[in-house]
Structure formats: structure tokens, C-alpha cells
Amino acid sequence: MNKRILVAGASGYTGALAAQIVWDHPDLELAAATSRSDAGKRLDRLYPRYRVPIGLSVLDLDRLDGIDAAIVAYPHGAAAPTVAALRERGILVVDLSADFRLRDPDTYARWYGEHGAPELFGTGVYGLTELYRDQLREATLVATPGCYPTASVLALAPLAEQGLLSEVFIAAMQGTSGYGRSSDDTVHFSAMTENAFPYKTEGHRHRPEIEQELAALGSPAPVTFVPHLLPLDQGELSTCFATLGEPTSKEAIRSLYAKRYGDEPFVHVLDGPPNLRAVRDTNECHVYVTVEERGRVVAFAAIDNIWKGASSQGVQNLNLMLGLDETAGLL
């Protein structure tokens, strides 16, 4: 029997996409999609490009019988209390917010402020599937990574795991869906077309998340991270410059990548630079690595920021949590 899934916060970009993926999923049933701001509207009216002909309701924590798992697509800070309430009712949770990604409370406090469910802090499994697959099978609470960490960490993981990374500089670029639906002047078409710019240049919250994961893999390297907004909808590219602790040949590095990702269903190591159109509307991550003549590495990863960078990776994790095939509903 299909598992019954709740998508909470389904009127935002990642929540709506999560609802669509669950709707199309052969082994899941979309039990409910909730939204405070757009309750009463049909999801396929709110997003004509999706095909989910159900109405949005207001989340009622007292009427969740028969829900097996929930995908929570709330803003950072707002997610934690709802996640806690869902967990209390025994519902498996895939959280798309940042609330459970960081493992150091001081770092969380510095970048996000007070936590909304401190008793659960640090208990989530980090949902970068390719790194935490085994833990995810047992997880009850998963913190799906941010889009920038997904691409950046996948770009660098084969080096990080070998303890090779010395210094890391990342120029990351993303489309306007990463800015969220709650639009302001910045993402007005008239402001964004023919434009591009770096932002949060004094520090972005995804930087400590990237450092946490590279360190966990074996390379506690300092990361400088600069995000840019591009005039496109969906897509995220991480261009990662790295110096290595010891000289390593291009061949050795490429072989490392080929071996590391050879069996991955969604991470593909290319033999040339990736592009965003090739991963759009997919759960794929396209990786390419090269070494320039003085030995510095440049590693690239391209994903769709609201798919592999959020909603479809959430479902990838949900598949594991529910004992389904990891790729179900995602190919």
C-alpha cells in the first residue's frame, strides 16, 4: 500500500514541487498539501506548470491520522516547532529548511538566531544522500541540505574524503527560484533580466554548512563562498577552486571522482564542463573536475536548485527512510 505523505508549506516553490513529485510518485500518495497563506486555492491554479489538482488546506496537527511521513517546506526558523510536533506524533519528517542542518549550536545561533525546537537540535541526519545513505535508511528526521551545499559538497567530496583539500574558494550561481516565491523588487522580471550580481558577499549561511560537511568528510578546510544571482529560473552551479595539501595529478584526481561516483544513480561525472539546462527538472548532479598547470583544482557541480537542491533530494531521502528504491519517482 502506498505511503501517505503530507507536504507542509506547499505554496512556496520547493513545497509545491515536492507536492508534484509526491503526486507523480508510484509508491507515495499525497495525503495533504498545506499552506496558511494560500489555503483554499487549488495547487494547479497557483502553479499552472504543475499538475496537482488538489486544494491547499491549513495544517491541523490534530488530524494527522494515517500520515506516514511529512515533507516540511517552511522558512528557516519557522520549521522547527512544526517538525517537533510531527515527530511527537511519530511521523517521519524530511525538513527542507536549515533548522536541522548544522550540528554546532553556536554556529546555528550566529547565522540563524534562536532555535525553535532545541530538544531536537542536532538529531537530524544530514540529507546529502550520496554521503549519508546508510544513516538515512534509519533516520526519522532528515535535514535536507541547502542548494549551495548540495552542489558544492558533491563537487569537492572525493577530494575532501581523501583529506586533500587545503584552501577552498567557491563562486556559486543560482537562478531566481532560489530567492523564493515571496518576491520583492530584486526578482521582478524588469530588474533581473539582463542582470547578474553577487550577493551576501559579507557572509552567507551556507558557508558554515559547507565547511561542516567538508570537515566531516576529512578536510577541515577554510571556505570562502560567494553566491551570485543569475537571470534564469531553476539551476545552480558551483565553481570551486581548491589548493591541495599535496600535489596530485589530474589523472589521479579524475580517477578518484570516477570511482567515487561511478555507482551513483544521480551523480554523473562528465568529461567536460556541465551546464544548467542539462540538469533542469531532474534530481541529477553533473560534476566535472580539472587541474590547472600549477596544480590547483577546479571542480564544478551543476544541479537544479529546487530539485536536487531541495525537493527531489528530499524525496530521494524519503525513499530511503521508507525502505523504497532510492530512485523511485525520480527517474
Query: Which residue numbers are catalytic?
Result: 147
Tell me how far apart the alpha carbons of residues 32 and 198 are, in angstroms, rounded to a whole number: 38
Long-range contacts of the stretch 179-185 (C-beta < 8 A, 24+): 179/229, 180/12, 180/13, 181/11, 181/12, 181/13, 182/12
Tell me how far apart the alpha carbons of residues 95 and 38 are, in angstroms, rounded to a whole number: 20
Burial degree of 76 (CB within 10 A; 0-12, 13-18, 19+):
middle
Q: Least distance to a second copy from the beta carbon of 163, Å? A: 20
For strands 3-8 and 236-244, give the pairing: unpaired
- DSSP annotation of 271 reads S
Q: Quick count: other Cβ atoms within 10 Å of Cβ 140?
A: 14
Q: Which is nearer to a second copy, 172 or 321 (CB)?
A: 172
Could you list the residues that contact a second copy (CB under 8 A)?
A: 13, 48-49, 167, 169, 171, 173, 175-177, 179, 181, 183-185, 187-199, 201-203, 222, 224, 226, 228, 230-235, 237, 239, 241, 243, 272-278, 280, 288, 290, 292-294, 296, 298, 300, 302
Q: Least distance to a second copy from the beta carbon of 184, Å? A: 7
Of the candidates 138, 142, 139, 170, the residue with the CA atom closest to the CA atom of residue 155? 170
Q: Least distance to a second copy from the beta carbon of 161, Å? A: 22
Scan for cell 576529512, then name that residue: 218
Q: Which is nearer to a second copy, 116 or 208 (CB)?
A: 208
Q: Mind giving me the DSSP string for 201-214?
A: TT--THHHHHHHHH
Q: Least distance to a second copy from the beta carbon of 233, Å? A: 4
Q: Which is nearer to a second copy, 149 or 175 (CB)?
A: 175
- How far apart, in Å, are the Cα atoms of 73 and each of 97, 195, 306? 6, 29, 11
Of the candidates 285, 18, 57, 282, the residue with the CA atom closest to the CA atom of residue 156? 285
Q: Which is nearer to a second copy, 61 or 191 (CB)?
A: 191
Q: Which is nearer to a second copy, 185 or 246 (CB)?
A: 185
